[in-house]
Amino acid sequence: MSSRRNFLRTTAGAGLGAATLGRFPFARELAAAPISRAGALRPVVIASANGLQAVERAMQTIQAGGDTIEAVVQGVNIVELDPQDNSVGYGGLPNEDGVVQLDASVMHGPTRGAGAVASLEGVKTPSRVAVAVMRYTDHVLLVGAGAREFARKLGFNVNEDLLTEDSRRRWLEWRASLSPDDDWISPEEAGAPPLRTGGRGAMADPRRDGERALLDSYDGLRPWGTINCNAVDRNGNISGVTTTSGLAWKIPGRVGDSPILGAGLYVDNDVGACGSTGRGEAVLKTVGSHTVVENMRRRMSPTDACLEALHRVVRWTVEKRLLGPDGRPNFNVNFYALNKNGDYGAAAIWSGSRFAVSVDGRAQLRDSAYLFQRA
């Protein structure tokens, strides 16, 4: 009884926080989460390597007093609207039918809000539709025709042609090489000289620097691409967004990890945020981003949390078609993470990956940690 009296006296003085722990025992886990003081943090924005402009824009928004969700979405909009980026939004590589289908998710830490769309067609900025799902519905995820109709009702232009001349060319080249027995042929087979002049309305030169990142992302399979962007402000409030056109030449309706909470994106305002790029199926199977955040809850640094989650991806990869001669995955997965204290880090299965980060108003690319050295 004496121990019980002392406990009650102590918890009564602790106020609402102690009452919360009493009602919800699982909240005791948060005792191990990073601790921050409002107004004492340095804002940080982290993104995948194609997000250098995105982190710069997001940081400007935060420094101007904008909410972190507004910041990260404004940042990725730059990439979604960039026709030179074949991995996201306008100009994204299409499915096997030549149709661009987009996926995106957002999470707002302070309100625990979340919204996502998948297999969305005809809209250049799926991240903004995901925000609308979060703000105006009691749902989290809308897909396909339903997501498009929802976007139309909210005033989005849902009749955009998302194929550029370049992405259409790449799809035609893939289609022509799919089978030697079909009726599709390449320009070379037709005896026509390839157009390598670049510019509007012409076939683009695949050797240009703008395509280098996409060529590097083949990993022996098909090109993929995504942008993830996460931010924490000086009050410790966190938001994240992941948006993508998904795996190139995918089966229509295929959905990867990007719009799935806990896989391609996860935000816990008590702990931190994580997002991913790379082979979505591998991240889905291991609930990758949630794993990283839970690792950070156990006081792991963001980089170590990412590396530990990647070890799980490697252990789960047992299909022979996904393994190289050395028995390791023949694909890549990248995680990008930050915690409530403003610490950040990124890691990949294979060396050579980079990430974008803005700290103290300076945006830069940095090398990611990795599990294995690429030959």
- Residue 226 is among the residues annotated as catalytic for this protein: yes
Q: Which residues contact 75 (CB under 8 A, 6 or more apart)?
A: 45, 47, 51, 53, 54, 55, 56, 57, 58, 61, 229, 241
DSSP string of 70-120?
A: HHHHHHHHHHHT-TT-TTSSTT----TTS---EEEEEEETTTTEEEEEEEE
Contact, 314 vs 286, CB < 8 A?
no
| Three-state SS annotation for 162-222 | CCCHHHHHHHHHHHHCCCCCCCCCCCCCCCCCCCCCCCCCCCCCCCCHHHHHHHHCCCCCC
The residue behind tokens 């039918």 is 97
DSSP string of 251-307?
A: PTT---STTSBTTTEEEETTTEEEEEEE-HHHHHHHTHHHHHHHHHHTT--HHHHHH
Contact, 43 vs 231, CB < 8 A?
yes
Which residue in the list 226, 244, 286, 291 is annotated as catalytic? 226
First to last CA, the chain: 66
Supply the residues annotated as catalytic: 226
